[in-house]
Amino acid sequence: MRPKAITIDRRTFVKTSVCSAAALSAASRAIQAADGQPAYSCKFYPFTDHPNADTCWSLSVGPDGRIYAAACAESSPGGTVKLMRYNEQTDQLDYLFDLAEKVDDPGDSGRATQCKIHYSFAPSMSDGIMYMATHLSGPPIDLPIYSPWYFWHDPKRCFRGAALVAYDTKEEKIAWWDTLIPKEGCRCLAFDEERDTLYALSYPRDHFITYNVKTRQRRDIGRIGSINGQGIFIDKKHRAYTTNDYGHLVRYTPEKDRLEWSPEPLPYDRRNQTGWHAVFYDLVASPDRECIYATTWIPQPRLMRIWPHEGEWPRVEDLGPVTQDRDLTFPHSMFVDHCGGLTFAADGKLYYVASRWRDARYNPIPPEREEREGVVWRLDPDTLKREEVTLLKHPVGTAQYVSRGAVDHNGDLFFGYINHRGKPAGIFKVTMPADRKKKNAHLPIRVWG
Residues that bind another protein (CB under 8 A): 77, 143-145, 147, 149-150, 152-153, 183, 204-205, 222-226, 244-245, 258-259, 261, 263, 276
Please, what is the minimum distance in Å from the beta carbon of residue 106 to another protein? 20
User: Cβ(404)–Cβ(60) under 8 Å?
Assistant: yes
Please, what is the minimum distance in Å from the beta carbon of residue 152 to another protein? 4
Q: Which is nearer to another protein, 154 or 371 (CB)?
A: 154
Q: Which is nearer to another protein, 203 or 357 (CB)?
A: 203
| CA distances for 448 relative to 62, 242, 374, 393, 412, angstroms | 11, 12, 23, 27, 19
Strands (E), 193-276: 197-203, 207-212, 217-223, 233-234, 240-243, 248-253, 258-265
| CA distances for 344 relative to 285, 348, 414, angstroms | 8, 6, 11
Closest CA to 390 of 335, 420, 429: 429
User: Cβ(73)–Cβ(54) under 8 Å?
Assistant: yes
Please, what is the minimum distance in Å from the beta carbon of residue 218 to another protein? 15
Please, what is the minimum distance in Å from the beta carbon of residue 251 to another protein? 12
Q: Which is nearer to another protein, 52 or 124 (CB)?
A: 52
| CA distances for 365 relative to 24, 157, 323, angstroms | 10, 46, 14
Tell me the helix, strand and coil percentages in the chain, rounded to 5.
Answer: 5, 40, 50
Q: In what order do the strands lie in the sheet with 207-212?
A: 185-192, 197-203, 207-212, 217-223
The DSSP string of 163-199 is: EEEEEETTTTEEEEEEEEEETSEEEEEEEEGGGTEEE
Please, what is the minimum distance in Å from the beta carbon of residue 221 to another protein? 9
Please, what is the minimum distance in Å from the beta carbon of residue 241 to another protein? 15
Q: Which is nearer to another protein, 93 or 158 (CB)?
A: 158
Please, what is the minimum distance in Å from the beta carbon of residue 402 to another protein? 27
The DSSP string of 348-381 is: S-EEEEEEEE-BTTTB---TTS-SEEEEEEEE-T
Q: Which is nearer to another protein, 63 or 77 (CB)?
A: 77
The CA angle 329-331-405, to the nearest 5 degrees, is 130
Q: Which is nearer to another protein, 225 or 287 (CB)?
A: 225
Q: Which is nearer to another protein, 205 or 437 (CB)?
A: 205
Please, what is the minimum distance in Å from the beta carbon of residue 77 to another protein? 8
Q: Which is nearer to another protein, 95 or 276 (CB)?
A: 276
CA-CA-CA-CA torsion sign (237, 284, 128, 209) = positive
Please, what is the minimum distance in Å from the beta carbon of residue 396 to another protein? 15
Q: Which is nearer to another protein, 31 or 143 (CB)?
A: 143
